[in-house]
Chain A
Amino acid sequence: MDIIKQILPGKPEYVSLVRLSVTSIANQMGFSIEEIEDFKVAVSEACTNVILYGLKDENSHYEVVFKVEESTLSISVTDNGKGFDPKSIKMPDLMGNQVGGGFGLYIIKSLMDHVEINSEEGTGTSITMVKNLLITNEV
């Protein structure tokens, strides 16, 4: 297993850097263009949630770890913020009455094969997103 780690400032301008990284890694592993798009959205949603809700202060950093196995890519996004109860997150209302949050986690769960959230109040949140490479007979 290969491990790639990125430590990022909790700033919006660096989320695109994580998208570039996941694009490169997933492409190298042989994921399809559509699957790479799924990865880009999923990691961005996780990083966006960190920046919006998971930072101790404006100088905080967070960590993104890519674990590359032969047919599995697993990405963990970890912050040291205040944590949350994953069960408390609801889908937003499409009428625009309670904008913000909610969609991110829902989208991640829809796009990835497996998602695990570990969050503890006061110590932070870690979300791990896994997608498996479908083996085809292509040479």
Chain B
Amino acid sequence: MKVRLNENGFISLSGDVDIYSVGEFREVVEKRISNGTPEIILDFSELSYMDSTGIGVLIELRKQTIETGQKLIILNPRQNIKKIMALTGIDNILEIIENKKI
């Protein structure tokens, strides 16, 4: 997994989020949460793979942002990742925005 912090505040992820990289994924986003940014935007357009390890962390991160009053937004997830989000039901509780160009 690769992480790019964009000037516009987006966190762009590419590669795979799995049991190996999920710790780094959590760390990067938690850092952004603790900065107090009102909207944490995770750009998934280049993310090619995510499994339940990433889903578990997204659930935790959502809980944290609700407690702090911040917003967690997922941008442009690919079809295979949308499928896993739908299977687990987290597409119902997360804000997902599609077709938005940076």
Contact = CB atoms under 8 A, between A and B. Distances in A.
Interface in A26-64: 34, 37, 40-41, 44-45, 47-48, 51-52
Contacts, number: 68
B43 to A, nearest CB: 20
Nearest to A37: B80
Contacts of A131: none
A83 to B, nearest CB: 20
Contacts of B88: 94, 103, 106-107
A51 B59 CA distance: 21
Interface in A76-112: 92, 94-96, 99-100, 103-104, 106-107, 110-111
Interface string B6-38: 000000000010111000000000000000000
B51 interface: yes
B18 A100 contact: no
B68 interface: no
Interface residues of B, number: 24
A19 to B, nearest CB: 7
B20 A96 contact: no
Secondary structure type dominating chain B contacts: helix
B53 to A, nearest CB: 6
Interface of A: 12-13, 15-16, 19, 34, 37, 40-41, 44-45, 47-48, 51-52, 92, 94-96, 99-100, 103-104, 106-107, 110-111
13 contacts: A19-B16, A34-B79, A41-B51, A44-B51, A48-B53, A52-B19, A92-B56, A103-B52, A103-B55, A103-B56, A106-B87, A107-B51, A110-B87
